[in-house]
């Protein structure tokens, strides 16, 4: 018996768990087709009733009496996981692990959100905290500004690429081990950055720091989804957004102040101290929030108990022959075979169950969120809260729900049959272990890359073609501000260099609030005029004005710096730039979410992957290009590129609806759901 088989079965909202229902659906008097249909109906009934109960419990807090609302920070023993069975060192947390994390009281949920939001600050902060002290780093390490810029760009690269893998790890291992392990590593690698004796050492440790800080960018939104059903995530996701939005604003100011008073290494020691504080908060205040009933181990335990009852009535000659063959195998090998042969199927069931709960949970309850899905973008939030093409999204999610039910039932049936009719015995234990190694390499290394399949979908591809270069321009601007204001005629100190980033940060926040309301007003007017609201309606007068202001702001900033005019003049350009960039990228982010019903988070991850690669390239080449052609010509080229990219928006507005109607998007969804 494997260790997993000793686990006490837990009820899953996404799998049939009632003993009588399982027995009846697997009755040996039924045909194979009838079995399949019964399992489908059972999974639908179990999932629907469970989701209804979750919504009722989650929304009941809004109708509590005054006496009930006073009950905060109280944990009901019947809802908590016993201390000795809590996962991932959960026995040390001050907040106990719940069997269903959505049953935490609001005070506990907000505490968890606060810890996650604070953790989300450190990734964007690590990107910009070195900007005011780049020249000091180059002088201290005896290197060039270009190589120091590479340390900034390489951090961006790992920050954009690694979230694809952290998300995959969390689905198998849980949220908590990803948080505490990544921040423990970030703490160690930040010490390495602080003690770096050469630029190569600094670049190496910065790569590792960026990769570790990327964990919360990937799984932070997943934690919010663990705590709240889809209908209640919007405002809580807004609280989570405060972390990554505050990081870029505070980082240059903190970096400049520390760099001027204590030297550039103090910026890295600040990250060491900050990450240590976050690690302590995570270790003691962040319980495991991924529901145990969706994990492969819990499903394995469930099937172990069912096997004793069902047996599948396969006791004929073939079964006897199979048992005789298996009995000749060593007990250790037999256990390994039993555990390993079903592991891939268990993972598929757990993944499908999780996707069902988040993608179509609201559909099974007969309610639909009228707002756009609460999707976390680690850099640029989706501006508008209004949903477009509501009917199309509902129809698509219903089809996905039915397909997921069918696949879930098929895999459940297949797994039970394999448990009863397993006749394949590997020649030795090494062969069995080799299969596990290959499978794990596929799941952990190859599977996350499958999300890039969304680049085959024209609306997503064109949206990224426009927004990714626009995002990369931000780092051309940031690196140029540091380079120019640190030199004649300005000769700003590090703290003053940090302050020059305030104008574009302020307009960034203004655009994130005013721009969202503006977009919603335009969408309402569009619907009144045309009667329908398609995703392409987002490309209205707001995006037209912003896309024109974008290159104009670049020309103002670039040529003012090139001609060395008064230091205030370039900042006028950066203020306009911050507002325009937030509008153009924010609208595209929302469009991607609209174009991928139930998979908006994956689309944002792909977008983040591409744009971070381009941003890192921008960090590498800014200083050499300034030296080669000058600031004015460089920014003129960037302005020309952004003007040409407007044609992409025109194509999207005209052809987007046609592609959404004719493209087989479910084919890509099926690729992502299949983890075998």
Domains of the chain, by residue range, sit at 8-59+303-318+327-376+393-425, 79-292, 449-676
For residue 328, the SS3 value is coil
Q: Do domains 79-292 and 449-676 have the same CATH topology?
A: yes
pLDDT higher for 634 or 8? 634
pLDDT for 125-139, tens place per residue?
998 899 899 999 999
Q: What is the CA radius of gyration of the chain?
A: 27
* 299 vs 343: CA distance, rounded Å: 10
> In this structure, what DSSP letter does residue 371 have?
B
Helices then strands, each counted (H, E), the chain: 25, 0
Cα–Cα distance measured from residue 561 to residue 386, given in angstroms and rounded to the nearest whole number: 40
Tokens linked to 429:
């234990």
pLDDT tens digits for 353-395? 555 444 444 444 334 334 444 444 555 544 444 455 555 555 6
312 φ/ψ sector (left φ>0, alpha ψ -120 to 50, else beta): left
Mean pLDDT check: name the lowest of 70-74, 201-205, 331-335. Answer: 331-335
CA distance 631 to 47: 59
Question: Into which CATH architecture does domain 79-292 fall?
Answer: Up-down Bundle (1.20)
Q: How does residue 314 score in pLDDT terms, banded at 50, 70 and 90?
A: very low
Of the two residues 140 and 167, the one the predictor is more confident about is: 140
Q: Can you identify the CATH homologous superfamily of domain 449-676?
A: MFS general substrate transporter like domains (1.20.1250.20)
Best CA proximity match to 88, nearest among 221, 286, 220:
286
How far is CA 542 from each of CA 54, 118, 458, 550, rounded to the nearest angstrom?
A: 39, 32, 23, 12
Six-digit token string for 150: 């590479």
Rounded (5°) CA angle 342-343-348: 100
Q: Are 14 and 408 in contact (CB under 8 A)?
A: yes
pLDDT in tens, 574-611: 999 999 988 888 788 778 877 887 676 678 788 888 98
**Would you give the DSSP letter of residue 378?**
S
Phi, psi of 284, deg, nearest 5: -105, -15
Q: Both tokens of residue 117?
A: 């939001």
Q: What pTM, to 2 d.p., does this model score?
A: 0.69
Residue 255's pLDDT is: 92
- Is 41 buried (19+), middle (13-18) or exposed (0-12) by CB count in 10 A? middle
Q: Per DSSP, what are the bridge partners of residue 371?
A: 386
**Of the ranges 46-50, 517-521, 548-552, which one carries the lowest mean pLDDT score?**
46-50
Contacts of 317 (CB under 8 A, 6+ apart): none
Q: How large is the average pLDDT for residues 524-534?
A: 78
The answer to whether 130 and 255 have CB atoms below 8 angstroms apart is yes
pLDDT at position 386, please? 46
Higher per-residue pLDDT: 86 or 114: 114
Handedness of CA 596, 243, 494, 210 (dihedral sign): negative
Task: Tell me, letter by letter, the H, E, C secondary structure of 624-663.
Answer: HHHHHHCHHHHHHHHHHHHHHHHHHHHHHHHHHHHHHHHC
Q: How many degrees, rounded to 5, is the angle at CA 577 between CA 573 and CA 583?
A: 155
CB atoms under 10 Å from CB of 177, counted, come to: 15
How many residues would you count in the chain? 676
Q: Which residues contact 292 (CB under 8 A, 6 or more apart)?
A: 10, 81, 87, 99, 298
> What pLDDT score was predicted for residue 160?
84
373-408 burial: b if 16+ Cβ within 10 Å, else e = bbbbbbbbbbbbbbbbbeebbbebbeebbeebbebb
Average pLDDT in the 103-123 region?
A: 90
Candidate ranges 66-75, 604-613, 620-629, 654-663; pick with highest mean pLDDT: 620-629
Q: What's the token pair of residue 72?
A: 């905060």
- Report d(CA 527, CA 594) in Å as an integer: 16
Which range in 22-36, 67-81, 633-647 is most confidently predicted, on average pLDDT?
633-647
C-alpha distances (whole Å) from 154 to each of 471, 525, 605, 612 are 16, 44, 18, 10
- In sequence order, which ranges of 442-567 are alpha helices (DSSP H)? 458-485, 494-499, 502-530, 541-562
The vertex-400 CA angle with 25 and 357, nearest 5°, equals: 70
Mean pLDDT in the chain?
Answer: 74
Contacts of 183 (CB under 8 A, 6+ apart): 119, 212, 215, 275, 278, 279, 282
What's the gap between Cα 558 and its chain centre? 35
């Amino acid at each position: 018996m494997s260790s997993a088989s000793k686990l006490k079965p837990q009820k899953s909202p996404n799998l049939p768990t009632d003993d009588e229902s399982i027995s009846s659906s697997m009755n040996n008097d039924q045909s194979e087709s009838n079995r399949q249909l019964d399992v489908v109906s059972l999974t639908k009934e179990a999932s629907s009733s469970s989701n209804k109960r979750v919504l009722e419990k989650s929304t009941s807090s809004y109708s509590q009496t005054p006496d009930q609302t006073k009950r905060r920070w109280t944990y009901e023993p019947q809802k908590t996981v016993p201390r000795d069975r809590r996962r991932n060192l959960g026995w040390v947390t001050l907040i106990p692990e719940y069997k269903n994390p959505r049953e935490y009281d609001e005070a506990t949920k907000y505490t968890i959100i606060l810890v996650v939001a604070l953790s989300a600050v450190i990734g964007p902060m690590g990107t910009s905290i070195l900007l005011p002290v780049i020249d000091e780093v180059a002088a201290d390490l005896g290197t060039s500004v270009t190589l120091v810029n590479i340390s900034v760009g390489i951090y961006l690269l790992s920050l954009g690429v690694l979230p694809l893998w952290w998300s995959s790890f969390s689905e198998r291992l849980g949220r908590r081990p990803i948080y505490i392990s990544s921040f423990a590593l970030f703490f160690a690698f930040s010490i390495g950055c602080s003690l770096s004796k050469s630029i190569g050492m600094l670049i190496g440790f910065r790569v590792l720091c960026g990769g570790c800080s990327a964990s919360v960018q990937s799984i932070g939104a997943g934690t919010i989804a663990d705590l709240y059903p889809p209908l209640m995530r919007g405002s809580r996701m807004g609280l989570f957004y405060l972390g990554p939005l505050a990081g870029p604003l505070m980082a240059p100011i903190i970096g400049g102040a520390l760099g001027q008073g204590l030297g550039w290494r103090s910026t890295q020691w600040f990250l060491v101290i900050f990450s240590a504080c976050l690690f302590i908060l995570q270790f003691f205040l962040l319980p495991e929030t991924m529901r145990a009933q969706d994990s492969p181990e819990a499903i394995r335990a469930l099937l172990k108990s069912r096997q004793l009852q069902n047996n599948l009535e396969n006791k004929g000659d073939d079964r006897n022959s199979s048992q005789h063959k298996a009995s000749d195998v060593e007990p250790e090998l037999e256990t390994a075979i039993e555990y390993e042969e079903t592991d891939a199927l268990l993972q598929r069931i757990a993944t499908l169950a999780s996707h069902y709960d988040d993608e179509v949970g609201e559909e099974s309850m007969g309610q639909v969120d009228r707002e756009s899905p609460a999707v976390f973008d680690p850099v640029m939030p989706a501006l508008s809260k209004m949903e477009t093409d509501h009917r199309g999204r509902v129809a698509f999610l219903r089809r996905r729900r039915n397909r997921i039910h069918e696949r879930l039932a098929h895999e459940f049936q297949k797994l039970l049959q394999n448990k009863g009719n397993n006749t394949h015995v590997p020649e030795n234990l090494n062969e069995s272990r080799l299969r596990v190694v290959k499978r794990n390499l596929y799941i952990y290394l190859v599977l996350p890359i499958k999300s890039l399949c969304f680049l085959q979908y024209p609306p997503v591809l064109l949206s990224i073609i426009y927004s990714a270069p626009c995002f990369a321009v931000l780092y051309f601007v940031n690196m140029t501000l540091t380079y120019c204001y640190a030199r004649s005629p300005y000769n700003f100190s590090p703290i003053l260099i940090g302050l020059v980033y305030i104008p574009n940060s302020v307009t960034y926040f203004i655009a994130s609030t005013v721009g969202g309301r503006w977009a919603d007003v335009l969408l309402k007017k569009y619907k009144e005029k045309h009667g329908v609201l398609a995703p392409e309606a987002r490309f209205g007068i707001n995006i037209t004005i912003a896309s024109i202001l974008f290159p104009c702001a670049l020309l103002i900033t670039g040529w003012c710096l090139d001609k060395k005019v008064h230091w205030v003049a370039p900042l006028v350009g950066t203020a306009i730039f911050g507002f325009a960039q937030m509008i153009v990228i924010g609208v595209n982010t929302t469009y991607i979410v609209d174009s991928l019903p139930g998979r908006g988070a994956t689309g944002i991850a792909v977008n983040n992957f591409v744009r971070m690669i381009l941003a890192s390239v921008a960090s590498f080449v800014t200083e050499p290009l300034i030296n080669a052609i000058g600031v004015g010509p460089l920014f003129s080229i960037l302005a020309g590129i952004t003007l040409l990219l407007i044609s992409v928006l025109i194509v999207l507005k005209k052809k987007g609806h046609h592609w959404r109607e004719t493209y087989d998007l479910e084919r890509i969804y099926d690729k992502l759901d299949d983890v075998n």
